[in-house]
């Protein structure tokens, strides 16, 4: 899963980036509203963490513009304004949740998990398919109840496909949702990553659709 963090305060931006990275997300940090406006339409994000108090193009205006252009990417807003009116304005503008500064990064990660879960239609933080369970809170993957040691990229790939169960994802789709801007993205890297992940899981989970891509089926095995 790939997230854009729009925050002009470098320390906060780095704290959020680090926490999300450790939680298994690919993260791009943008420091102003104008750059975020452009990037939201050229990069496929699964969620946006948006500070309202941005210089120039403020966060609320940016959010309204995104929704006016039918951008449906889930948005979690950050605000230093503790008044109820600003929170209502953010929700009415199209935000999916909000968090007031100062905040603990653990709460931000939990709220983001919940937003992504609701968007994908999952009722619980544990994603399952047959004997495979992925706990988005602890980042623990088990097969038949036994923990499986995955790398960050392997976990990110499995999590993304489980969130998108039933949807065929091409190699280019996977590259765009697994890697941050500036990372080398080669299509054959996905094949190698899938091979390693399938070997570690040891049970059929990810299917290949020749000429189209990969998916975790919607129907249980």
Give the pLDDT of residue 198. Answer: 97
Region 98-121: what's the mean pLDDT?
A: 93
Residue 209: the pLDDT is 93
Q: Which residues pair with 26 in a beta bridge?
A: 2
Q: Is it the case that residue 187 has pLDDT exceeding 80?
A: no
* Mean pLDDT, rounded, for 158-178: 94
Given a cut of 80, whether residue 179 has pLDDT beyond it is yes
pLDDT of 81 > 80? The answer is no
pLDDT band at 220 (very low <50, low <70, confident <90, very high): confident
Of residues 142 and 189, more confidently modeled: 142
Radius of gyration over every alpha carbon of the chain, rounded to an integer in angstroms:
18
Calculate ∠ Cα 112-117-121, nearest 5°. 150
Does the pLDDT of residue 51 top 90, yes or no?
A: yes
Task: Say if residue 33's pLDDT is above 90.
Answer: yes
> Average pLDDT of 90-105?
92
pLDDT of the residue at 72: 94
Residue 186 has pLDDT above 80, yes or no: no
Mean pLDDT, rounded, for 14-31: 96
Strand order in the sheet with 47-51: 26-30, 2-6, 47-51, 75-79, 97-100
Using pLDDT thresholds of 50, 70 and 90, give the confidence band for residue 86.
confident
pLDDT-based confidence at residue 181 (cuts at 50, 70, 90): confident
- Single out the residue of 216, 213, 120 nearest to residue 172, CA to CA: 213
Residue-level length of the chain: 221
Triad 161, 165, 168: Cα angle to 5°: 75
Q: H-type helices in the chain, by residue range? A: 10-22, 33-42, 59-68, 84-92, 105-120, 152-163, 171-178, 187-201
Contacts of 199 (CB under 8 A, 6+ apart): none
* Whether the predicted pLDDT of 26 surpasses 70: yes
Q: What is the pLDDT of residue 2?
A: 96
- Which domains does the chain carry? 2-120 (3.40.50.2300), 126-215 (1.10.10.10)
Using DSSP's 3-state secondary structure scheme, residue 74 falls into: coil
Answer whether residue 82 shows pLDDT above 70.
no
The CA distance from 176 to 46, in Å, is 10
Over residues 90-116, the mean pLDDT reads 93
């Amino acid at each position: 899963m790939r997230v854009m963090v729009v925050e002009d305060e470098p320390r906060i931006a780095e704290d959020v980036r680090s926490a999300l990275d450790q939680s298994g997300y690919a993260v791009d940090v943008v420091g102003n509203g104008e750059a975020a406006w452009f990037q939201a339409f050229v990069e496929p994000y699964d969620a946006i963490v948006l500070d309202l108090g941005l210089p120039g193009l403020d966060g609320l205006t940016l959010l309204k513009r995104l929704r006016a252009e039918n951008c449906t990417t889930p948005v979690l807003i950050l605000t230093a304004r503790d008044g109820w009116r600003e929170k209502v304005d953010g929700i009415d503008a199209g935000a999916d949740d909000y968090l007031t500064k100062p905040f603990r990064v653990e709460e931000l990660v939990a709220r983001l998990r919940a937003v992504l879960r609701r968007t994908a239609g999952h009722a619980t933080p544990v994603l399952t398919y047959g004997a495979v369970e992925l706990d988005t809170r602890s980042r623990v993957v088990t097969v038949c109840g036994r923990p499986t040691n995955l790398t960050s990229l392997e976990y990110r790939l499995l999590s993304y496909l489980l969130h998108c169960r039933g949807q065929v994802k091409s190699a280019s789709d996977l590259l765009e949702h697994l890697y941050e801007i500036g990372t080398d993205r080669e299509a054959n890297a996905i094949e190698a990553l899938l091979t390693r992940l399938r070997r570690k899981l040891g049970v059929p989970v990810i299917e290949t659709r020749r000429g189209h891509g990969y998916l975790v089926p919607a129907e249980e095995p």
